[in-house]
């Protein structure tokens, strides 16, 4: 576990932010259940989180490849340093230094697939309440995961 930049904490934070945006969209849908012509909104961000996890896996692979792959010692002619391990390429260095967490942007989209009623409104209160419950449960799970991470970090700091 990297104590300074823990991947789990970063991803759970992004997930919780996306779920909060979803809660706001659901609240707006519920508030406008009787508004003529209102089209329900949804927030999509899970595929972006999955992409971030894939990019972090690639970073871990590159780090592992550069720390494990042994090459015979060679002397750098300019500095005189002796290199015993594979040196990352410029592209790999740039990729390792990039911040993949800044690239998430939860998308608020209008649901055009649900059929509207006589007034043109496509909000179904039962569906919104179910989505509200599911989103709240997911948020609770992520907050518990975050709490456990901070508890572990606190135990390490206290030396337990």
Task: Give yes or no for residue 3 having a pLDDT over 60.
Answer: no
Question: Would residue 80 be called left, alpha or beta, if left means φ above 0 and alpha means ψ between -120 and 50 degrees?
Answer: left
No. of H helices and E strands in the chain?
4, 4
Which H or E element spans position 5?
none
DSSP E strands, the chain: 41-44, 70-75, 82-85, 107-110
The residues spanned by each domain of the chain are 1-45+109-160, 52-104
Give the tens place of pLDDT for each residue, 53-109.
888 888 888 777 776 555 555 666 666 666 666 667 788 777 777 777 777 888 898
pTM: predicted TM-score of the whole model, two decimal places: 0.74
- What pLDDT, on the 0 to 100 scale, is given for residue 1? 45
């Amino acid at each position: 576990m990297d104590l300074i930049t823990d991947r789990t904490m970063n991803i759970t934070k992004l997930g919780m932010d996306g779920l909060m945006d979803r809660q706001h969209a659901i609240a707006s849908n519920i508030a406008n259940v009787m508004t003529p012509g209102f089209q329900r909104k949804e927030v999509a961000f899970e595929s972006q989180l999955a992409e971030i996890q894939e990019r972090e896996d690639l970073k871990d692979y590159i780090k592992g490849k550069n720390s494990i792959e042994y090459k015979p010692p060679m002397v750098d002619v300019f500095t005189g340093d002796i290199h015993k391990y594979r040196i990352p390429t410029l592209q790999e260095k740039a990729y390792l230094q990039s911040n993949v967490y800044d690239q998430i942007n939860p998308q608020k989209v209008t649901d055009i697939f649900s059929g509207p009623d006589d007034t043109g409104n496509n909000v179904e209160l039962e569906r919104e309440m179910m989505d509200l419950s599911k989103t709240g449960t997911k948020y609770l799970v992520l907050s518990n995961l975050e709490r456990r991470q901070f508890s572990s970090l606190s135990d390490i700091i206290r030396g337990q």
